[in-house]
């Protein structure tokens, strides 16, 4: 109880000033360098095992802005549905613009859908900028039954969206913090809504920050938490710097998502997550020595002994 009261008082005083002389303050936090209220920090690694971004994407993001994505593929993909035609070489190729195969070229049989609608086979091709040539069309499947096929937003496509990396905020925000005193960190956990195109369909995506990793820039163990933190007087996510010098806080945000295909009222969950990363400005870690003065250091002009 006394320890928390002293730490809170010290930070409150620091938030109220804009400068100080060098000196020394002892730590009330001992070896507890960083923590989350009602939680503990965990080793980085196991908490952030995400699905690997091995696949390529069919998404074409149309939402603005964003930085710090965990996966940023450069390959462009195009998809279409078309009947399959068997060339003399033995390769399957998509039917022509008229929907049929040229004379004498065998056509792949349609699936027996027992009266349901049939969707023609799906094809894709890719382009790797700066090259302008496209690869040959390759068949992805043999078609499907059930009428109009709804596109699926995969984890890889979700990671390609321009998610805006939440900034890291800290208090005090004067450009320096006190050594051996609590520094507050927090971010904005507001969900974002984006749109993209999948197989020619407009898809609305809602992305929500769900997990945060705070790296303190001093070589200490990061904090992994579902708590985004909050500004003073809350002490939800804090860190105690034990050495003088400079540092910058980096926050990695894990996003979960759901999506809705145009014309379909149902929202569907994205299987997998995306991450963004942002680093705050460099700040100094200082000592401050307290002493009695004859006047108020808030006076203008400031007394000489302040």
Residue 249 in domain: yes
Res. 302: pLDDT tops 90:
no
Residue 200 in domain: yes
The most confident of the ranges 7-21, 55-69, 190-204, 286-300 is 190-204
Residue 188 in domain: yes
**Percent of all residues in the chain with a pLDDT value above 90, rounded to a whole number:** 42
- CATH number of the domain at 7, please: 2.60.40.10
More confident of the two residues 248 and 301: 248
This model's pTM is above 0.85? no
Confidence of residue 147 (pLDDT cuts 50, 70, 90): low
Count: domains in the chain: 1
Residue 301 in domain: no
Q: What CA–CA distance (Å, rounded) separates 185 from 264?
A: 40
Give the tens place of pLDDT for each residue, 85-140: 988 788 888 988 888 888 878 888 877 887 777 778 888 888 888 888 999 999 88
Residue 235 in domain: yes
Confidence of residue 68 (pLDDT cuts 50, 70, 90): very low
Residue 211 in domain: yes
Residue 226 in domain: yes
Which of 228, 238, 233, 222 shows the shortest CA–CA distance to 184?
238
pLDDT at 128: 86
Residue 230 in domain: yes
| Residue 195: domain span | 2-55+162-286
Res. 45: pLDDT tops 60:
no
Give the tens place of pLDDT for each residue, 159-204: 999 999 999 999 999 999 999 999 999 999 999 999 998 877 889 9
The pair of three-digit structure tokens given for residue 14, joined into one six-digit string: 């620091």
């Amino acid at each position: 109880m006394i320890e928390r009261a002293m730490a809170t008082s010290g930070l409150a005083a620091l938030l109220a000033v804009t400068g100080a002389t060098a000196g020394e303050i002892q730590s009330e936090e001992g070896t507890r360098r960083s923590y989350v209220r009602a939680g503990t920090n965990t080793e980085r690694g196991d908490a952030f095992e995400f699905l690997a971004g091995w696949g390529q994407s069919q998404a074409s993001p149309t939402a603005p802005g964003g930085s710090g994505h965990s996966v940023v593929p450069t390959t462009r993909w195009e998809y279409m549905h078309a009947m399959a035609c068997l060339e003399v070489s033995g390769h399957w190729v998509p039917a022509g613009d008229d929907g049929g195969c040229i004379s004498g070229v065998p056509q792949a049989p349609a699936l027996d859908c027992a009266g349901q609608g049939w969707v023609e086979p799906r094809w894709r091709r890719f382009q790797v900028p700066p090259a302008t040539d496209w690869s040959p069309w390759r068949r992805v499947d043999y078609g499907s039954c059930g009428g109009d096929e709804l596109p699926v937003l995969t984890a890889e496509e979700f990671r390609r969206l321009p998610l805006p990396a939440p900034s890291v905020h800290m208090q005090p925000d004067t450009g320096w913090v006190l050594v051996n005193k609590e520094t507050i960190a927090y971010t904005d956990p507001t969900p974002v809504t984006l749109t993209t195109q999948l197989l020619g369909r407009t898809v609305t995506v809602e992305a929500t920050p769900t997990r945060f990793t705070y790296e303190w820039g001093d070589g200490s163990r990061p904090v992994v938490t579902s708590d985004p933190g909050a500004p003073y007087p809350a002490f939800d996510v804090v860190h105690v710097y034990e050495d003088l010098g400079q540092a910058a806080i980096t926050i990695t945000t894990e996003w979960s998502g759901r999506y809705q295909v145009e014309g379909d009222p149902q929202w569907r969950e994205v299987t997998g997550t995306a991450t963004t990363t942002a680093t705050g400005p460099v700040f100094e870690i200082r000592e401050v020595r307290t002493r009695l003065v004859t006047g108020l250091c808030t006076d203008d002009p400031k007394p000489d002994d302040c």
